[in-house]
Amino acid sequence: MPKLGYTAAQIRAAEAPLLAKGVPLMIRAAQALADHVTSVLPEPSASRVLVLAGAGDNGGDACWAASFLAEAGVQVNVVPVMGRLSPEPEAGARESGARILTEAKPVDAAQLVADADVIIDGMLGIGAGGTAAGGSPALRGTARDWALAVHAALTENPHPLVIAVDLPSGIDPDSGEVAEPEAVIPADLTVTFIGIKAGCLQGEGAKLAGKVWLEPIGASQHLLGVPPAVTVS
């Protein structure tokens, strides 16, 4: 069965009617993500998950997933890679027992990676859009510093499984192009929502996304009749 890939703009258009109605798409995405993480942990209560969370919706998905994982007994560390988190998801993670490492620095990445069984990459999603549409999907500032440090740490210690939220942070969601390969964390699994991002099916993005798993979260029907940007057999 061919895989259909959609642009960031197409995904945003598909989710807009549901968001306008107050449908909790972020919670649905986070629960699906947490379920995938739990499924690869042999014993959740003895497992450790490192969450790299940005300040936008992608980081919100990751923080809510952290809260669900903590409630399941997983030891969860959340790093606010941009120095802040979305307030409500952060509060949910804290209340559930996840640790928010506000003082952590990129120099700590090697130890955090070594201590983790799973790393969740929730730094940057489709919010910036693709380059061709005027977006800027490359990581910058402290998020870039964290990506570089974690990438390097994984080169030395490839033990933790990496799960990307929607798409690996730093790849172009539309073309799959990568401005700085060392600042992208290669994923073993990408859990994507509503529709597969075109950038996960082509270019360098296809190599970095690992296995791509689509979670419709009750919104994929809004892509019916929408011509995909890319089709991969």
Give the pairing type, strands 3-6 and 230-232: antiparallel
How many H helices and E strands in the chain?
7, 10
Report the domain count for the chain. 1
CATH number at residue 126: 3.40.50.10260
Binding site residue list for K(+): 58, 121, 169
Beta bridge partners of 165: 191
Binding site residue list: 57-61, 121, 166, 169
Does the CA dihedral 175-168-228-60 come out positive or negative?
Answer: negative
Q: What is the pLDDT of residue 136?
A: 86
Structural domain of 62 = 3-232
Q: What is the pLDDT along the chain (233 residues), one digit of tens a residue?
A: 889 999 999 999 999 999 999 999 999 999 999 999 999 998 989 999 999 999 999 999 999 999 999 999 999 999 999 999 999 999 999 999 999 999 999 999 999 999 999 999 999 999 889 898 888 899 999 999 999 999 999 998 778 999 999 999 999 999 999 999 999 999 999 999 999 999 999 999 999 999 999 999 999 999 999 999 999 98
Q: Across the chain, which distance is largest between two alpha carbons, in Å?
A: 48
Q: What is the pLDDT of residue 135?
A: 87
**CA distances (Å), 17 to each of 12, 29, 104, 168, in order?**
9, 17, 38, 26
Q: What is the pLDDT of residue 159?
A: 83
Binding site residue list for (6S)-NADPHX: 57-61, 166
